[in-house]
Amino acid sequence: MVHIRDDALSKYPDGVPYTIELKNEGPREGIECRLEITFDMPLYMTQGETGGLLNLGDDGLPEQNGSYPYAAAMIVPVAAQSAPAGLVAVGHGQLGAKEQVLGYQEIMAEANLAAFGMDHKGFASDDIPTVIEAILGGDLSVFRKIPERMHQGFLNFLMAMRTLSREAEGGPSTALNQALLNDCNGATIDGSKRYYFGGSQGGILGASIMALSTDTERALLAVPGQSYNLLLNRSVNFDEYAGQLYGNYDWNALDMQMNLALIQGLWDRAEPTGYSKYIRTNRLPGTPAHEVVIQVSKADHQVTNLGAHIMARTIGGVVNLAPLIRPVWGLDVVSGEHSGSAMIEIDFGNPDAPITNIPPWADSMEDPHGRATELQALGPILIDFFASGVVSNPCDGPCDENDLVVP
């Protein structure tokens, strides 16, 4: 992936060609406009659509295979008319799509962030046929198509940020700035303020992006975790897929563990187990240091807290911000303001998750997975951390549902 990144940036140091159009379905109060941006991305796959593999040269490294159009959905806040907005890439949830950026309109409006969502190719909605093929087709080797395409997904995020940030700083005649002037009532973007925000799968894969990014140095990762072979067993989302795997491959429980471990060897090349240790220190070549805030919903039904804690320890230097809902082994506790990477946990009253590798089937309470981003102070957290790298626990006591935004 580092080779792909460096090869693409050497060829397109100021970004890639793109087209932009107004697509104003769905903006809410505080959002001035919605734009659709289609990038002519360098392609490193055998095909642009799902189901392809990395396009390898004679030396075994990926080679560019022309280009392919990949799109982003952008929302621009009203506040950007009076002060330049920051630029934030937004990652979506499991097998989702770029349009999920529309679910964060209130937060982005409050924080004055122009947010663009992109598909996490390899694990996006258009990859569902490939996922089904791997599960139902009787040939598990098909699975390699998923992590290999994730490389293209990462590159798309990196090149989109490079393109949009350079275009925002490129003067009034760029296509982006013309669209902001004419379609967004004179809004502006500060291309030097570059961030990442992702929840669930967007938080998981955001860790990989943050280890790779040469432009984005701060991120908020909501309800993330690693590695996938650990997360899947413990996720209610895996129940349906597990049933299909047991049936179609005639597996027992031991077969499942063995094959998930084997699959993980392919996934390590794309998911955070292969990248998170490079986020802050021991950095990848030509890559700056990064800082992240990790948000955790206690007893998450979809992404086990164990995976988030492993991620925090693997990154290194991530502190647990007091007041705590519980101590977490391996994480130092810090009260008050902290400059650097940190974790904030929220307790919604759910019982503790099982200590075995099963989902919390016995928990009849509402799944807390999607509630972390309902924290009242999320906007101020984004503003302060993105602007200065300083973060603090916003709750008076241990964070609970009393600290959520009132609907």
Report strand pairing: 31-42 vs 18-22.
Answer: antiparallel
3-state secondary structure at position 12 = coil
Domain ranges of the chain: 1-197, 200-407
pTM: 0.96
Cα 233 to Cα 127, 142, 358: the distances in Å are 21, 20, 6
pLDDT tens column, 324-363: 999 999 999 999 999 999 999 999 999 999 999 999 999 9
Return the ∠ at Cα 55 (arms to 53 and 59), rounded to 5°.
Answer: 130
Average pLDDT score, the chain:
95
d(CA 107, CA 110): 5
Which amino acid, one-letter code, is at 140? L
pLDDT tens column, 10-65: 999 999 999 999 998 766 889 999 999 999 999 999 999 999 999 999 999 999 99
d(CA 116, CA 252): 43
Give the pLDDT score at 109. Answer: 94
